[in-house]
A and B are shown apart, each in its own frame.
Chain A
Amino acid sequence: MKHVQDFKVKTYRWLNDENYILTLQGESLETEILPGNFAEIRVPGIADVFLRRPISILDFNPTENTISFYIKAIGKGTRQLGELQIGETISIVYPLGNSYSVVEEGKALLVGGGSGIAPFIQLGRELKKRNIQTTFLIGGRTKNDVFLTDEFSEFGEVLVTTEDGSRGEKGFVTHHSVFSGDFDFNKIYTCGPDPMMKAIAKIAGEKNINCEASLENMMACGIGACLCCVTPTVNGNKVVCTEGTVFNTKELGW
């Protein structure tokens, strides 16, 4: 069930000067949270930020009633969310969106970049529960843009590409050697910038592998009420915040 609920800022963990993990604590917690779900966060204390900001749910802890987000400060709202006082109240609407469909057998490849890697913690955990052999492929411009790899390594093998070659293989994720030679994955999950996801979807199409991508469209409500966030699909316009954010890439016509 969806809730609008007040939380308190519990901790910040800064990964570098513009990427951080924000953990909130509530008096209760909705625990029906699925991999790929997101929240609409009200940014407190800044008149300039009118609408809530959609942010993927990184993780949650039912015993402590905590919920966390991995945020990249790219604008006024995401910067302000990094500058709150510990204990400050913050309202979130959650959990929103559909979820990745977790495969029950075979091998899964999770390809992400930028702030689009947050859903992979929950997804990795669910895959591990089902004994799926999981590989994470994370891309960044330099080694300073690659995060959460320690966390991902709990759930599977972690591969990295950087554009400058400072960590892992040099180039874009699509250039990684995992795609050449023996490629025996039966599922690809992707989340990140659109051009990256489209390129991954193309590879998946060529290899005839089922691929799911999570979209980050501009949203106003996050609950299917305004129809601002649509994406064209082979079945007409779909509402990203409720019918997605996760879509099969074939449905997107990618």
Chain B
Amino acid sequence: MVDLKVNLGGLQLKNPVTTASGTFGFGTEFADFFDLSLLGGIFVKGITLKNREGNDYPRMAETASGMLNAVGLQNKGIDYFIDSIYPEIKHYNTEIIPNVNGSTVEEYIEVTEKINEVEGINAIELNISCPNVKEGGMAFGVSCPSAIAVTEAVRECFDGTLIVKLSPNVTDITEIAKGVEGAGADAVSLVNTFLGMAIDAQTRKPLLSTITGGLSGPAIKPIALRMVWQVFNAVKIPVSGMGGIMNATDAIEFMLAGATSIQIGTANFIDPQVSVKVIEGIENYCKDNGFDSVTDLVGALEV
């Protein structure tokens, strides 16, 4: 028997496989395809203080081995999540991790304070890296002082595990990682999407209403893997790694590079059952290679 349990900054996960925010809805969208209780955790879609309609259509463009999105945090607000959505999903035997967003530090605080009151939620993911909103979002995550300020403020009002989601759209991701570690983050998750763009040469128009959007999928995997490796070597807090994971081998690579747990994003659109396959694949890899615990993989890259 392989021990699949991992500890992500105090948050106990029954296995390292979680689903990435914005790509897995609130989980229920996938309930027809597999038992959600098999997952280590579900990072639910980005939540803000108030209802947000998101960006105009079109919000999606396919790219070589990936996609651009410009959803812009469409959601019904934190009260709706707590009153109407969480009661529907809390019975799943998995960690439900809200992805917290704001245009101002005050908004981040207000959303977090509300979540802090909810029984059963043990962690939040602080999204300071959304490239698709005009105010807030990535603006917090691309400068060290603002990343530190918002992390410190949220740390003060949250008792559970604080995971800060980092933007890859920076010169040196390790600086931001060290900054939020110092500000009280229990873990970091990376990467969010890369700022990108797509053009229709025939119409001479951008393919996204917002002109630029966030690139995800296998196209970003080598860069994401490099960043996970760099951050793993720069900080002591654990890393939740993601970016283009399509199968168990990809997930294992992220763990070898230093991720304690991994998140599956865009791959959910290609195969709604991919996350269970990744859990099985990781377990088999450990068996085949004589690892008793999946934690033995973390940072086990031989260099």
Determine if A4 is an interface residue (Cβ-Cβ < 8 Å).
Answer: yes
Q: Is the CB of A4 within 8 A of B67?
A: no
Q: Is the CB of A225 within 8 A of B32?
A: no
Residues of A within 8 A of B69 (CB): 220, 226, 228
- B64: min CB distance to chain A, Å: 7
Q: Is the CB of B30 within 8 A of A220?
A: no
Q: Is the CB of A3 within 8 A of B32?
A: yes
Q: Is the CB of B62 within 8 A of A51?
A: yes
Interface residues on B, range: 35 or more
Main secondary structure of the interface of B (DSSP, over half): loop
Determine if B24 is an interface residue (Cβ-Cβ < 8 Å).
Answer: yes
Select B65's contact among A2, A50, A220, beta carbons within 8 Å: A50
Determine if B53 is an interface residue (Cβ-Cβ < 8 Å).
Answer: yes
Residues of B within 8 A of A49 (CB): 62
- A233: min CB distance to chain B, Å: 11
Residues of A within 8 A of B32 (CB): 1-3
Determine if A231 is an interface residue (Cβ-Cβ < 8 Å).
Answer: yes
Determine if A203 is an interface residue (Cβ-Cβ < 8 Å).
Answer: no
User: Looking across the interface, which residue of chain A has its beta carbon closest to that of B74?
Assistant: A227
Q: Is the CB of A230 within 8 A of B60?
A: no
User: Looking across the interface, which residue of chain A has its beta carbon closest to that of B274?
Assistant: A4
Contact with B along A203-246 (1 / 0, CB 8 A): 00000000000000111111111111111100011000010000
Q: A225-B23, A226-B269 are in contact. Are A218 and B67 (CB under 8 A)?
A: no
Determine if B58 is an interface residue (Cβ-Cβ < 8 Å).
Answer: yes
Q: A220-B69, A236-B53, A237-B54 are in contact. Are A229 and B272 (CB under 8 A)?
A: no
Residues of B within 8 A of A223 (CB): 25, 29-30, 272
Determine if A42 is an interface residue (Cβ-Cβ < 8 Å).
Answer: yes
- A50: min CB distance to chain B, Å: 6
User: Could you tell me the distance between the alpha carbons of A221 and B25 in the complex, rounded to whole angstroms?
Assistant: 10
Residues of A within 8 A of B71 (CB): 226-228
Determine if A93 is an interface residue (Cβ-Cβ < 8 Å).
Answer: yes
Q: Is the CB of B270 within 8 A of A226?
A: no
Q: A218-B60, A228-B59, A237-B54 are in contact. Are A50 and B24 (CB under 8 A)?
A: no
Q: Is the CB of B270 within 8 A of A51?
A: yes
Q: Which of A14-35 contact B (CB under 8 A)?
A: none
- B31: min CB distance to chain A, Å: 9
Q: Is the CB of A220 within 8 A of B60?
A: yes
Q: A48-B64, A217-B57, A230-B57 are in contact. Are A225 and B33 (CB under 8 A)?
A: no
Q: Is the CB of A225 within 8 A of B30?
A: yes
User: Could you tell me the distance between the alpha carbons of A93 and B62 in the complex, rounded to whole angstroms?
Assistant: 19
Q: A47-B65, A237-B74 are in contact. Are A225 and B58 (CB under 8 A)?
A: no
- A91: min CB distance to chain B, Å: 8
Q: Is the CB of A220 within 8 A of B57?
A: no
Q: A42-B270, A231-B57 are in contact. Are A224 and B29 (CB under 8 A)?
A: yes
Determine if A52 is an interface residue (Cβ-Cβ < 8 Å).
Answer: yes
Determine if B116 is an interface residue (Cβ-Cβ < 8 Å).
Answer: no
User: Could you tell me the distance between the alpha carbons of A22 and B270 in the complex, rounded to whole angstroms?
Assistant: 21
Q: Which of B14-58 contact A (CB under 8 A)?
A: 22-25, 29-30, 32-33, 45, 53-54, 56-58
User: Could you tell me the distance between the alpha carbons of A1 and B59 in the complex, rounded to whole angstroms?
Assistant: 27
User: Could you tell me the distance between the alpha carbons of A227 and B59 in the complex, rounded to whole angstroms?
Assistant: 8
Residues of B within 8 A of A222 (CB): 269
User: Could you tell me the distance between the alpha carbons of A31 and B268 in the complex, rounded to whole angstroms?
Assistant: 24
Select B57's contact among A1, A48, A232, beta carbons within 8 Å: A232
User: Could you tell me the distance between the alpha carbons of A222 and B53 in the complex, rounded to whole angstroms?
Assistant: 19
User: Could you tell me the distance between the alpha carbons of A138 and B129 in the complex, rounded to whole angstroms?
Assistant: 48
User: Could you tell me the distance between the alpha carbons of A231 and B69 in the complex, rounded to whole angstroms?
Assistant: 15
User: Could you tell me the distance between the alpha carbons of A78 and B204 in the complex, rounded to whole angstroms?
Assistant: 23
User: Looking across the interface, which residue of chain A has its beta carbon closest to that of B34?
Assistant: A4
- B53: min CB distance to chain A, Å: 5
Determine if B273 is an interface residue (Cβ-Cβ < 8 Å).
Answer: yes
Determine if B160 is an interface residue (Cβ-Cβ < 8 Å).
Answer: no
Can you pick out 8 interface pairs between chain A and chain B where the beta carbons lie within 8 Å of each other? A219-B60, A220-B67, A223-B29, A225-B269, A226-B60, A229-B60, A230-B54, A231-B57
B interface residue numbers (CB < 8 A to A):
22-25, 29-30, 32-33, 45, 53-54, 56-67, 69, 71, 74, 217-218, 266, 268-273
